[in-house]
Amino acid sequence: MTGPENPALPRGFPPNGKDAAATVYLRPLGSPDGFQHCEVLIRRPGGTLTVHCAKDDVVDWARAEGGALANHISALIGRLAAPRPPFAGLALDRPLIMGIINVTPDSFSDGGETPDTASAVARGRAMAEAGADILDVGGESTRPGSRPLSADEELARVVPVVRALAGDGHVVSIDSRRARVMEAALDAGAVAVNDITALNGDEQSLAVVAERAVPVILMHMQGRPQTMQENPRYDHAALDIYDELGRRVEACLAAGIPRAAIAIDPGIGFGKTVHHNAEILGRLSLFHGHGCAVALGVSRKSFIAALGRGEPVTDRLAGSLAAALHAVGQGVHILRVHDVAETRQAFDVWRAIEAARSPHE
């Protein structure tokens, strides 16, 4: 699979010291389940070398080079191939749908639709009936340019909704970046935390999740909601975000949160241009290298309109489903969506087609 446009894997790698500053990444071509071909990305100070080859070739290359590279590739392939344990008590043998419930007047996609407890609870129950596996309750809009919310306002919005939906027996997560809100929502019956700051926005949040022993979704965001879209920059968006999420995973592990309780989300639209978003989506399977479940939110986001015909939020279902189906084909485990029934139908059809395929394809 090498040639003029696809160079061979380099010889004389880390053991001789020439490439001591290099980092090697591995992206399965498609879902990581039983992958046979991959993209190897070798990042050096002067740029990134990309090689497409068979997984067996990578294994042979690493063994021949020996040393740290052999250990790194062995561990990386092990994490990529390992089955993920249940998340929030839910098996990850199929894509999970996380229904978005914004108890806000100003969210980008559905602001004002569920501004109070009664409407939010009704939305959550309808989502569960339509096939949502997890109900994600948030009380603060984090759209670009949004205003910060006080903890008291956020608590007043989300706690009654969490209590009602959890009381119905639904699996509920709390979408918050504040430790105080996380604690109150967990007390009210939430069983997982979804944090856009990857437990880095509140100095107490890491301890809260560790002490409560609950699963967490760590999302990547460059900057803050108020300014994140002003001029986001990356050297290589997918690799930069992979590295940053890796550091947050390591912080969680050090705090006593097991890898099995961690999901990572590259944060589409949070401090990213349209080009960055496309680059990340094109390399989603890379993120399995951390050995965690992978979550994703693409529903109704502005990049869909930017890549399409400028459609308003209410007309982005087709683009949302296209991105979601691409994601599950890359092995993404949890999709955060607004349109639950439509996404469930799309996933059911996708799964049936996948099940009918020849194993030799």
Strands (E), the chain: 23-28, 37-44, 47-54, 96-102, 134-138, 172-175, 192-195, 216-219, 262-265, 293-297, 334-337
Q: Does a structural domain hold residue 191? A: yes
Residues 177, 301, 316, 344: which is the catalytic one? 301
- Residue-wise pLDDT for 162-216, tens only, equals 999 999 999 999 999 999 999 999 999 999 999 999 999 999 999 999 999 999 9
What's the pLDDT score for residue 3? Answer: 45
End-to-end CA separation in angstroms for the chain = 18
Higher pLDDT, 7 or 103: 103
Among 32, 58, 81, residue at a domain's last position: 81
Same domain, 173 and 46: no
- Is residue 89 situated within a structural domain? no
Confidence band (pLDDT; 50, 70, 90) for 11? Answer: confident
Q: Quick one: DSSP state of residue 315?
A: G
Residue 256: band (very low, low, confident or very high) from pLDDT cuts 50, 70, 90:
very high
18 annotated active-site: no
Predicted pLDDT at 7: 76
Please report whether residue 88 resides in a domain. Answer: no
Same domain, 33 and 117: no
| Selected catalytic residue, list 336, 344, 351, 357 | 336
Confidence (pLDDT) at 15: 46
Same-domain check for residues 39 and 172? no
| Same-domain pairing of 317 and 189 | yes
Q: What confidence tens digit (pLDDT) does each residue in 85-98 have?
A: 999 999 999 999 99
Residue 1 lies in a domain: no
| Structure confidence at residue 109 as a pLDDT band (50, 70, 90) | low
| Torsional sign, CA 273, 277, 283, 288 | positive
Mean local confidence (pLDDT), 69-94: 95
Q: Say whether both 29 and 172 belong to one domain.
A: no
Average pLDDT, the chain: 91
CB 77 within 8 A of CB 83: no
Asked which of 39, 55, 81 is the last residue of a domain, the reply is: 81
In terms of C-beta density within 10 A (0-12 exposed, 13-18 middle, 19 or more buried), how is residue 155 classed?
buried
Would the pLDDT of 1 be above 80?
Answer: no
My answer on whether 100 and 77 are in the same domain is no
The answer to whether residues 214 and 224 touch, using CB atoms and an 8 Å cutoff, is no
The CATH number that applies at residue 303 is 3.20.20.20
Exposure string of 201-226, with b = 16+ CB inside 10 Å and e = fewer, is ebeebbebbbebebbbbbbbbbebbe
More confident residue, 360 or 64: 64
40 closest CA partner among 266, 286, 246, 331 = 286
Do residue 139 and residue 222 come from a single domain?
A: yes
Residue 6 lies in a domain: no
Residue 94 a catalytic site member: no
In this structure, the answer to whether residues 115 and 142 fall within a common structural domain is yes
Structure pTM?
0.93
The boundaries of the domain holding residue 293 are 96-356
Q: How many domains does the chain have?
A: 2
The pLDDT-based confidence of 112 (bands split at 50, 70, 90) is low
Q: Judge if 277 and 331 occupy the same domain.
A: yes
Q: According to the model, what pLDDT value does residue 44 have?
A: 85
Domain check: are 192 and 157 in the same one? yes
* Digit-coded pLDDT (tens) for 323-354: 999 999 999 999 999 999 999 999 999 999 98
Cα–Cα distance between 39 and 83 in angstroms, integer? Answer: 21
Give the β-pairing of 134-138 and 192-195. Answer: unpaired
